[in-house]
Every structure is written in C-alpha cells, then in structure tokens.
C-alpha cells in the first residue's frame, strides 16, 4: 500500500513539474514572439527612413564644377548623413529605365539637371524638421528646387509610432499576464509539496534550508522552460521564413542572442522570485491550515 502511494506521489510530482515547465515555456515563447515584433518594428522603421531621400535638383545652367561646390557645402550640414552626386547622364539613364525608351535621341540633347540625393540623420525625420531643411537647402547656390516624398514621410512617422505604441502596450500586458501565469503555475506545483515543507519544518529545518532546494530547482526549471521556448520560437521562424523572408532579413545574430538571453534570464528570474515568495509563505503556515491550502 505504501509503495503504491509513493508511486502515485512520484507521478503527481513529475506531472506537476512537467506542467510547470511547459506552461512557463509557452509563456516565454509568447514573450519571445512579442520581443521579435518590437525589434522588427524598430528595424522596419529605420529601413523605411533610410529609403526616404531629399532630392536637391540643381538649375539647368549649373555646371558640374559648381554642383560639386554645392555638394561640399551640403555635406558639412549637421542634419546630413550621406549625399550622393547624380550627374545628368545618371539621371537620364534612370529615367530611360523607368520609361523604357531613349528619349534623349528623340530630343537631341539631355535636358535633365544634376541632382544631389541626401539621406538625413534619424533625429531629423519629422515632418517639421524636413520642411525646415527643405527651405534651407533651397537657399544654397545653384539649387533649383528641393523635393521629397512628404506624404510617405508623414505616413511612415505616423504609422510606425502607432504600431510601436500598440506593440508596447501588448508587451506590457503580456508581461503582466506572464508573471501571473508563471506564479500561479509554480504556486500549484509547490502546493502539492506543502506537507513536505511542513515536515522539514517540524524536524527543525530553518526557512533558508527549506528554501534552498526549491530555489535551485526553480532556476533549472526556468532555464529548461527558456530553452523549450527558444526551440519553439526557432521552429516558428523556420515556418515563416518562406512567406516573410523580407521581414526576417531585418533580424541578425546579435538580436537573437539578446532575445534568447532575455528569455532564459526572465524564465529563471520569475521562477526564482515566485518560488521564494511561495515557499516562504508555506514555512509560516501552521499544520492545521495546510489542509485548507
């Protein structure tokens, strides 16, 4: 009879441990997905900003020599990240590729002006800043007009801010729910061992001695859950690679290293803190109260 009870208890403990590990792993997996979304949103915003250029179109009468002088002046501005000099020939070639016809032969000359394509620093990517920069650039010698994709810039700024805010709220809510679920799972796991804790207390073990094996187990449990969550996340990435290859290209090895480390640390830390609080509680509960949980 005693052997049968021991087997039942052993099965229950293993089931409780496995349930705790799997539940924690699933929660960490969701946090990992959320982290991936946050990172990719930021990187996507940077990529979109990198592709928005301010085009400085020189006057038709401006020579290559004068245009190079203006280029040197533009490069010294604090809002400029890079400047690309586009000659008349290069502008004509780009237009020929877009139109699919050789319009220069029809006209007999190249009427297109020299262009300077400017990429701005990230901190100047607001509508007001770019509009102010446009006015300043128009005052440079030889400049005919300054153009940029105003509607695209406004759309990118507006939508990326909204998306970032929504994802941030989602991550904070998910983090709160994650801590609650992991804490609940560990509470149920330790609840099944409350009589063992009480027995250790009755034979003279102090609170620190009782907590130590539970805390050590919680750290390993958190790490194991983290590794399972990482494997699940890698599996999801592998499944999505064909359909969302462009988006996944925004990620890099350093990002994955940071994300996976955070998942492992978070799993261990939440498990450790929850276990510490719950075990400490049961060391202070009287024997009669244990039957009430």
CA distance 73 to 87: 17
Q: Which long-range contacts (CB under 8 A, 24 or more apart) does 209-213 make?
A: 210/279, 210/283, 211/275, 211/276, 211/279, 211/280, 211/283
Q: Is-contact 184 23, C-beta < 8 A?
A: no
Domain boundary among 126, 148, 170: 148
Q: Is-contact 54 118, C-beta < 8 A?
A: yes
Half-sphere exposure of 286 (CA within 13 A, CB side): 2
Assign residue 112 a region: left if phi > 0, alpha if psi is -120 to 50, beta otherwise? beta
Identify the domain containing residue 132 by its residue range: 53-148
Q: Assess whether 194 and 143 both reside in one domain.
A: no
Average pLDDT across the chain, whole number? 76
What φ, ψ does residue 52 adopt, rounded to 5°?
Answer: -95, 120
For the domain that residue 107 is a member of, what is the CATH number? 3.30.70.3040
Number of domains in the chain: 2
Q: Assess whether 33 and 175 both reside in one domain.
A: yes
Q: Assess whether 144 and 61 both reside in one domain.
A: yes
Q: Which long-range contacts (CB under 8 A, 24 or more apart) does 85-89 make?
A: 85/114, 85/116, 86/114, 86/115, 86/116, 86/117, 87/114, 88/112, 88/113, 88/114
Q: Is-contact 150 66, C-beta < 8 A?
A: no
Give this prediction's pTM: 0.60
Q: Assess whether 192 and 251 both reside in one domain.
A: yes
If you ran DSSP here, which 8-state letter would residue 109 be given? S
What φ, ψ does residue 115 adopt, rounded to 5°?
Answer: -125, 150
**pLDDT tens readout for residues 9-52:** 455 556 666 777 787 788 888 888 888 877 777 676 666 666 67
**pLDDT tens readout for residues 67-118:** 888 889 988 888 888 888 888 777 667 766 655 555 555 555 555 788 888 8
Q: Assess whether 256 and 281 both reside in one domain.
A: yes
CA-to-CA separations, 202 to 137, 151, 242, 275, in angstroms, rounded: 82, 73, 60, 20
């Amino acid at each position: 009879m005693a052997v049968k009870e021991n087997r039942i208890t052993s099965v229950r403990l293993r089931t409780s441990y496995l349930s705790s590990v799997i539940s924690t792993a699933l929660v960490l997996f969701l946090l990992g997905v959320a982290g991936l979304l946050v990172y990719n949103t930021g990187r996507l915003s940077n990529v979109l900003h990198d592709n928005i250029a301010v085009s400085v179109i020189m006057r038709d009468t401006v020579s290559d020599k004068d245009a190079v002088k203006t280029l040197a002046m533009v490069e010294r501005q604090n809002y400029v990240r890079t400047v690309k000099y586009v000659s008349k020939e290069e502008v004509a070639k780009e237009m020929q590729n877009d139109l699919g016809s050789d319009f220069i032969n029809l006209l007999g000359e190249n009427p297109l002006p020299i262009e300077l394509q400017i990429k701005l620093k990230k901190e100047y990517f607001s509508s007001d800043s770019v509009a102010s920069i446009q006015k300043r650039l128009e005052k440079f010698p030889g400049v005919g007009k300054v153009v940029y994709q105003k509607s695209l810039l406004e759309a990118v700024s507006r939508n990326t801010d909204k998306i970032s805010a929504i994802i941030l709220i989602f991550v904070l809510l998910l983090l709160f729910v994650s801590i609650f679920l992991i804490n609940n799972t560990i509470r149920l796991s330790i609840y099944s061992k409350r009589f063992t804790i009480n027995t250790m207390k009755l034979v003279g073990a102090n609170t620190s001695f009782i907590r130590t094996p539970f805390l050590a187990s919680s750290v390993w449990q958190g790490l194991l859950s983290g590794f399972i969550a990482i494997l699940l996340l890698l599996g999801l990435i592998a499944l999505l690679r064909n359909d969302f290859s462009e988006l996944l290209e925004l990620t890099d090895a350093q990002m994955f290293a940071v994300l996976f480390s955070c998942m492992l640390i978070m799993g261990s830390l939440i498990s450790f803190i929850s276990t510490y609080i719950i075990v400490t509680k049961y060391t202070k509960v009287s024997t009669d109260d244990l039957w009430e949980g």
